[in-house]
C-alpha cells in the first residue's frame, strides 16, 4: 500500500455479512453499448466488483441469470430502453444517474441508468462507492445529479514541470515524451477525477507560459485530451494575455484592436483543430504582474469578451479570475469588489467570473468574498484551494472539507435570508446561465499523488461538493476514510475526529480570531508576523495584523477602510459592530484593544494566547490518537502520517511561539503562568524564517539560504 490507488481501492469486502449480500446480488455485469466511455465503465466495474467481491464477476451480453448489474442509457442499451425509466431519467438531466432494483425478464437486476454515457460512468463509480463503504443494497433507490455545470480542477503546473505551490513532486505532464509516450498515470488521473464527477481540467499554471498555445504543445495536449475524453473530462488551458506579442506576431495585445481579435480567433481555431471539444481558457489578467487588458486602458470585461467571442463559435467558455488587487489601493480586501462591481452585466454569456472563496487569498479562515452575491448579472463560480499553500504544504494534516462547507453554507443575504453561497453557485439566487466550482489541486509525481496522504481527502471533498454542495464535510470524510483505508469503526471514528478538528487546529496555531497572512514572505510555510518591509506593503504581515500598543486587527469599518460596507445587510452591520462580529472573524474587521473582554471572559490578549496554545494542544491530541492506530492499517501509510505529525507538532510550536512572542512586543503583557514557556527567544524564531526547506527554487526568497 502506498496510496497510489487513492480512494479507488477495491480490496475484498472485510465484513462477511456484507460480502454475502453483495455476492448474492451481483453475479454478472451487463454494460450494453460500445462507446469508449461505456468501455471505461465496464472496465472499472469489472475490476472494482471483482476486487470487492473477491471473485471474478463475468461480463455478459445478456441476462442469463439472476443478479445482473445492468448499465447504460436508453440509447445504448435495449434492456434499459425497455424499463420505462423516462420520468426518473428526465429528472437527473444530462450528467445524472439512477441506481435501483428492477426485474428484467423475470429476473432480479440492479440497474445503473443515465441519459448519457458519462452519466452511466458516474453512476458506476457511485455504485462502487456504495460497496466500498459497505452500504446495504437493500431498497436501493438513488437519483443523483450534479448541481453545477463546470466541476473543474486547476493545476498550477509550469511547463518546466515545477508546480507552483505544489509539494508532491514534478508536474504529471511529461512534456518531453508526449505525445508518443502516454504514461498510464494519465488514465488513472482521469479515473480519479471522473469518480467524483469532475468534468474539466486546466492543466497549466494561471501564471501562464505563452508556449502553451504553440503547435508544439497543442499536439501534446491533444494526446492528453484524448485520454481524458472517455472519462468526461474536458481540457482547458490557462492563457497568457500577452500571447499575440509573445508569439512575435503583433506589437499589442489590446483587446479592442481588430488585429488582436483576429489573432485570438485564429489561435483558438487552431486549438479546436487539435482538440475538437476543447473547454476554454482560464485567465489571470492584471494581477500580480500578469499582463491584461488594463495595460491598454481597457477593463476586465473588454478583455474577457474578446476571448469569449473567439471561443463562442465552438461552445467554449472563459473562466476569468477575480483575483486582482492593485497595490495602490489602501485595503487589498476591497480590490476585487471595487473593480468588478461596475462591470456587472457587461460580460458575455460564455464568461464565468472565477472568485476565490475569501477576499484575500486562501487563508486558514477568511470571511467570504463580498463578490458572492454582488453580481446578479455576471456568471460567478467558486475557486477553492486544495493544495496546502497556507496549511503546511505536504507536511501538515489539514482536511479542507470544513473550510469548503463553511464557505458554501454561508448566507450572503444577497436576496434575503437563505441566499447561501452554495445556492448562488447553483444559479438559484441569481439566474446564472453557467455555473461552476474550481479547485486548485497539486498532484505530482509522488507515488501517492498529493504528498501528504490526507491531502487526498481534500481533493475528494472538493469533488463531492462540486457535485453536491449540500453534503456535509463529516459524511464526506467518513466515505473517504472507508474507501481509502478500511471500514473498521475502531479506525474510522478516531480518524474522523482527527480530520474534523484539523482545519481549526491549523487556524488556531497560525492565525486565530481573524488574524491573517502572518506567513513568511514568498514561501508561505512558516510564520513571520514581524515582516513589515517588502516591495508591496500588501505582501507584508504587518499590513494585515496592524499590531500596535493600543491593540491589534485591521479596521475595516467606517472609521477604517470601510470594506465591511461591501457586504449586504444584515452582514455589514453584524461584521461592522464589535459586539456582534463573530469572534473567529473579529480581527478581520476591527482594531481591538488588548484588554477587550471576549465572550470567554478573558481579555483579547489572553484569548489570543489561549487559542495559540490550543492549536498546539490539538495537534498533540491528533498525534496521540493517530499513534494508537498502529496495526489497524498498513504500516507504510501509518508510519508516514505518524512522522508527518511529528513535523506538524514541531511547526505548530514554532508558529505559536513566534506569534505570541512577537505580539507580546506590542501588548506588553505576560503569557499567563499556566502555559508552557516558549523554549527560545523571539530572535531565535526570527532566524528560522529562511531555514525551512521549501521546494520552490524559482522564488529567490523561498529556498533555504541560511548557511549558519
Ligand atoms: C497565491 C499564490 C500565487 C498564485 C496566486 C494566484 O501565492 O502563487 O499565483 O495566488 O492565485 O495564492 O494567482
pLDDT tens digit sequence for 620-674:
999 999 999 999 999 999 999 999 999 999 999 999 999 999 999 999 999 999 9
Closest CA to 385 of 410, 409, 372, 366: 366
- pLDDT at position 706, please? 53
Q: State yes or no: pLDDT of 177 exceeds 80.
A: yes
- pLDDT at position 328, please? 87
Q: How crowded is the C-beta side of 48, counted as CA atoms within 13 Å?
A: 26
Q: State yes or no: pLDDT of 702 exceeds 50.
A: no
Burial class from Cβ neighbours inside 10 Å (0-12, 13-18, 19+) for residue 81 reads middle
Q: Is 189 in the pocket of ligand 1 (CB under 6 A)?
A: no
Q: How confident is the model at residue 534 (pLDDT cuts 50, 70, 90)?
A: confident
Q: What is the C-alpha to C-alpha distance for residues 453 and 487, in angstroms, rounded to an integer?
A: 17
- pLDDT at position 522, please? 82
Mean pLDDT of 679-708: 72
- pLDDT at position 700, please? 44
As a whole number of angstroms, the longest Cα–Cα distance in the chain is: 82
- pLDDT at position 693, please? 77
For residue 481, give the C-alpha cell.
Answer: 476514510
Q: Is 319 in the pocket of ligand 1 (CB under 6 A)?
A: no
- pLDDT at position 689, please? 86
Mean pLDDT of 537-563: 96
Q: How confident is the model at residue 64 (pLDDT cuts 50, 70, 90)?
A: confident
Closest CA to 422 of 407, 408, 443: 408
Q: What's the mean per-residue pLDDT of the chain?
A: 96
Q: How confident is the model at residue 454 (pLDDT cuts 50, 70, 90)?
A: very high
For 507-554+591-690, CATH number out of 3.90.1330.10, 2.60.40.1180, 2.40.110.10, 2.40.50.140 equals 3.90.1330.10
Angle at 186 between CA 183 and CA 192, to 5 degrees: 145
Q: What is the C-alpha to C-alpha distance for residues 423 and 407, in angstroms, rounded to an integer?
A: 11
Q: State yes or no: pLDDT of 88 exceeds 50.
A: yes
Q: State yes or no: pLDDT of 696 exceeds 80.
A: no
Q: State yes or no: pLDDT of 337 exceeds 80.
A: yes
Mean pLDDT of 317-335: 94
Q: Where are the domains of the chain?
A: 16-144, 150-472, 507-554+591-690
Q: State yes or no: pLDDT of 704 exceeds 80.
A: no
Q: Which ligand 1 atom is the nearest neighbour of the CA of 156?
A: 9
Q: State yes or no: pLDDT of 195 exceeds 70.
A: yes
pLDDT tens digit sequence for 224-256:
999 999 999 999 999 999 999 999 999 999 999
The architecture that CATH gives domain 16-144 is 2-Layer Sandwich (3.30)
Q: What is the DSSP letter of 227?
A: H
For residue 230, give the C-alpha cell.
Answer: 472517455
Q: How confident is the model at residue 707 (pLDDT cuts 50, 70, 90)?
A: low
**Most ligand 1 atoms within 8 A of CB, residue of 154, 165, 202 to mutate:** 165
Active site residue 143: no
Q: State yes or no: pLDDT of 692 exceeds 80.
A: no
Query: Which element (helix H / strand E) includes 111?
Result: strand 107-113
Q: State yes or no: pLDDT of 695 exceeds 90.
A: no
Percent of the chain with pLDDT over 90: 93
If you measure from the C-alpha of residue 285 to the centroid of ligand 1, how many angstroms do you get, rounded to a whole number? 12
pLDDT tens digit sequence for 264-305:
999 999 999 999 999 999 999 999 999 999 999 999 999 999
Q: Is 390 in the pocket of ligand 1 (CB under 6 A)?
A: no
Mean pLDDT of 475-504: 98
Q: State yes or no: pLDDT of 22 exceeds 60.
A: yes
Q: How confident is the model at residue 602 (pLDDT cuts 50, 70, 90)?
A: very high
**Most ligand 1 atoms within 8 A of CB, residue of 162, 207, 290, 702 to mutate:** 207
For residue 80, give the C-alpha cell.
Answer: 434499459
Q: Is 323 in the pocket of ligand 1 (CB under 6 A)?
A: yes
**Most ligand 1 atoms within 8 A of CB, residue of 240, 354, 361 to mutate:** 361
Q: State yes or no: pLDDT of 705 exceeds 70.
A: no
- pLDDT at position 703, please? 45
CATH number of 150-472: 3.20.20.80
Residue nearest to atom 2 of ligand 1 (CA): 165
Q: Is 162 in the pocket of ligand 1 (CB under 6 A)?
A: no
Active site residue 389: yes
Q: State yes or no: pLDDT of 192 exceeds 50.
A: yes
Residue nearest to atom 13 of ligand 1 (CA): 206
Query: Which element (helix H / strand E) includes 307?
Result: helix 300-311
Q: State yes or no: pLDDT of 616 exceeds 80.
A: yes
Is residue 211 within 8 A of residue 159, CB to CB? The reply is yes
Active site residue 1: no
Set 84, 143, 288, 569: catalytic member? 288
Amino acid at each position: 500500500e502506498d496510496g497510489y490507488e487513492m480512494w479507488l481501492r477495491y480490496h475484498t469486502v472485510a465484513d462477511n455479512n456484507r460480502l454475502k449480500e453483495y455476492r448474492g446480488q451481483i453475479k454478472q455485469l451487463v454494460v450494453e453499448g460500445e462507446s469508449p466511455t461505456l468501455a471505461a465503465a465496464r472496465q472499472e466495474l469489472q475490476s472494482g466488483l471483482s476486487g470487492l467481491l473477491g471473485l471474478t464477476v463475468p461480463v455478459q451480453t445478456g441476462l442469463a441469470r439472476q443478479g445482473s448489474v445492468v448499465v447504460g442509457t436508453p440509447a445504448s442499451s435495449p434492456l434499459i430502453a425497455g424499463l420505462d425509466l423516462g420520468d426518473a431519467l428526465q429528472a437527473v438531466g444530462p450528467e445524472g444517474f439512477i441506481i435501483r432494483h428492477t426485474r428484467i425478464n423475470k429476473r432480479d437486476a440492479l440497474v445503473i441508468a443515465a441519459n448519457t454515457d458519462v452519466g452511466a460512468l458516474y453512476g458506476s463509480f457511485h455504485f462502487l462507492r456504495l460497496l466500498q463503504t459497505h452500504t446495504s443494497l437493500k431498497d436501493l433507490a438513488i437519483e443523483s445529479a450534479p448541481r453545477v455545470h463546470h466541476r473543474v480542477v486547476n493545476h498550477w503546473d509550469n511547463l518546466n514541470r515545477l508546480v507552483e505551490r505544489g509539494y508532491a513532486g514534478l508536474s504529471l505532464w511529461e512534456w518531453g515524451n508526449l505525445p508518443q509516450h502516454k504514461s498510464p498515470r494519465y488514465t488513472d488521473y482521469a479515473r480519479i477525477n471522473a469518480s467524483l464527477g469532475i468534468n474539466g481540467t486546466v492543466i497549466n499554471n494561471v501564471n501562464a507560459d505563452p508556449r502553451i498555445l504553440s503547435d508544439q504543445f497543442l499536439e501534446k495536449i491533444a494526446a492528453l485530451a484524448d485520454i481524458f475524453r472517455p472519462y468526461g473530462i474536458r481540457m482547458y488551458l490557462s492563457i497568457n494575455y500577452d500571447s499575440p506579442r509573445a508569439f512575435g506576431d503583433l506589437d499589442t495585445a489590446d483587446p479592442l484592436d481588430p488585429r488582436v481579435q483576429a489573432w485570438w480567433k485564429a489561435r483558438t481555431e487552431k486549438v479546436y483543430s487539435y482538440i475538437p471539444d476543447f473547454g476554454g481558457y482560464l485567465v489571470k489578467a492584471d494581477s500580480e504582474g500578469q499582463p491584461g487588458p488594463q495595460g491598454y486602458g481597457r477593463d476586465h470585461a473588454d478583455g474577457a469578451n474578446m476571448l469569449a467571442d473567439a471561443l463562442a463559435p465552438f461552445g467554449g467558455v472563459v473562466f476569468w479570475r477575480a483575483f486582482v488587487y492593485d497595490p495602490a489601493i489602501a485595503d487589498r480586501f476591497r480590490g476585487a469588489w471595487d473593480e468588478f462591481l461596475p462591470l456587472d452585466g457587461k460580460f458575455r454569456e460564455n464568461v464565468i467570473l472565477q472568485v476565490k472563496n475569501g477576499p484575500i487569498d486562501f487563508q486558514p479562515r477568511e470571511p467570504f468574498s463580498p463578490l458572492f452575491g454582488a453580481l446578479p448579472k455576471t456568471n460567478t463560480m467558486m475557486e477553492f484551494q486544495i493544495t496546502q499553500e497556507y496549511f503546511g504544504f505536504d507536511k501538515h494534516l489539514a482536511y479542507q472539507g470544513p473550510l469548503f462547507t463553511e464557505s458554501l453554507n454561508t448566507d450572503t443575504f444577497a436576496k434575503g435570508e437563505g441566499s447561501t453561497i452554495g445556492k448562488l453557485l447553483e444559479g438559484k439566487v441569481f439566474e446564472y446561465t453557467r455555473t461552476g466550482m474550481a479547485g486548485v489541486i497539486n498532484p505530482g509525481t509522488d507515488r501517492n499523488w498529493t504528498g501528504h496522504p490526507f491531502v487526498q481527502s481534500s481533493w475528494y471533498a472538493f469533488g463531492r461538493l462540486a457535485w453536491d454542495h449540500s453534503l456535509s464535510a463529516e459524511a464526506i470524510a467518513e466515505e473517504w476514510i472507508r474507501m481509502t483505508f478500511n471500514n473498521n469503526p475502531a479506525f474510522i471514528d478516531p480518524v474522523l475526529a482527527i480530520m474534523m478538528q484539523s482545519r481549526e487546529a491549523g487556524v488556531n496555531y497560525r492565525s486565530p480570531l481573524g488574524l491573517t497572512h502572518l506567513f513568511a514572505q514568498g514561501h508561505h510555510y512558516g510564520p513571520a508576523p514581524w515582516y513589515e518591509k517588502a516591495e508591496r506593503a500588501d505582501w507584508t504581515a504587518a499590513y494585515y495584523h496592524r499590531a500596535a500598543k493600543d491593540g491589534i486587527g485591521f479596521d475595516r469599518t467606517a472609521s477604517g477602510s470601510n470594506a465591511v460596507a461591501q457586504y449586504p445587510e444584515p452582514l455589514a452591520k453584524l461584521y461592522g459592530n464589535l459586539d456582534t462580529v463573530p469572534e473567529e472573524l473579529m480581527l478581520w474587521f476591527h482594531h481591538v484593544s488588548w484588554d477587550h473582554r471576549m465572550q470567554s471572559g478573558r481579555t483579547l490578549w489572553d484569548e489570543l494566547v489561549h487559542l495559540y496554545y490550543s492549536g498546539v494542544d490539538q495537534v498533540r491530541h491528533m498525534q496521540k490518537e493517530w499513534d494508537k492506530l498502529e496495526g489497524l492499517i498498513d504500516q507504510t501509510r501509518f508510519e508516514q502520517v505518524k512522522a508527518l505529525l511529528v513535523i506538524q507538532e514541531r511547526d505548530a510550536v514554532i508558529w505559536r511561539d513566534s506569534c505570541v512572542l512577537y505580539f507580546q512586543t506590542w501588548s506588553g503583557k505576560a503569557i499567563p503562568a499556566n502555559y508552557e514557556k516558549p523554549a527560545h527567544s523571539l530572535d531565535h524564531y526570527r532566524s528560522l524564517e529562511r531555514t525551512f526547506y521549501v521546494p520552490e527554487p524559482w522564488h529567490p526568497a523561498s529556498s533555504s539560504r541560511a548557511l549558519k
